[in-house]
Structure 1
């Protein structure tokens, strides 16, 4: 197998790996966005829940109702804490996929540059060989014309 074929296969493989890394990065980004949106929804729900119960508490509520409201507010806070932890995990995953994607893109760019360099070298060699042949033909033609 020639070097150019080997490099082409390596480039093809590197591009597939880059495409897979790009897909994984997109999925990680989407998961992070969904988790952040859910956290925002929880914050808004908790705020509206608290507003509603502050208004009702001014009218007077029983101790059991107050305890239920307080317990639910604590569970909402716990859910927000868990969502925050999930967001941290997803941010770490997103960062890891971003780093992997950058590495794959660098590999593809490096292989493309190497292929370009090899093609340029091959072209220079071919041009030198053509020039050498032309010089030889010119020398022969000159010798055959000179008595």
Structure 2
């Protein structure tokens, strides 16, 4: 459950990063379009300031993606350890069950053998 939650958070972070990068691409296209018509110095300053803020947001989102990826790896490692332990315990329980079944089969066979001997001795007497 926790593994799925962490995977979901990583996916969300990746989607957001993709959206930011797409927005940056669109914004840069706007620069090309506007630049062909001519822009004022104020417009250029605003564009550069906003692009800088967008780059900062993209950098932060990349760090978020990396953090969630690292967290997912940690959680996956814990899950794998717990799963391996659980599988080991399942095998141990199965072995004990098999040993108990074999022991019961031996007891039953011994009783049947004793019963057969008694019957055989009774027939001979």
Same fold, TM-score > 0.5, yes or no = yes
Aligned partner of 1:39 in structure 2 is: 17
TM-score (norm 1): 0.81
5+ residue gaps, structure 2: none
Equivalent-residue separation in structure 2 for 1:40 and 1:67 (angstroms) = 25
2:68 maps to 1:90: yes
Within-5 A mapping of 1:1-147: 23-147=1-125
5+ residue gaps, structure 1: 1-22
CA RMSD of aligned residues (A): 1.0
How many positions carry a matched residue from both structures? 125
Equivalent-residue separation in structure 1 for 2:123 and 2:104 (angstroms) = 28
1:21-74: CA deviation from partner (whole Å, max 9, x where unpaired):
xx1110110000010000000011001111112211222212121111001001
After TM superposition, which residue ranges in structure 1, 4 or more long, deviate above 6 angstroms?
none
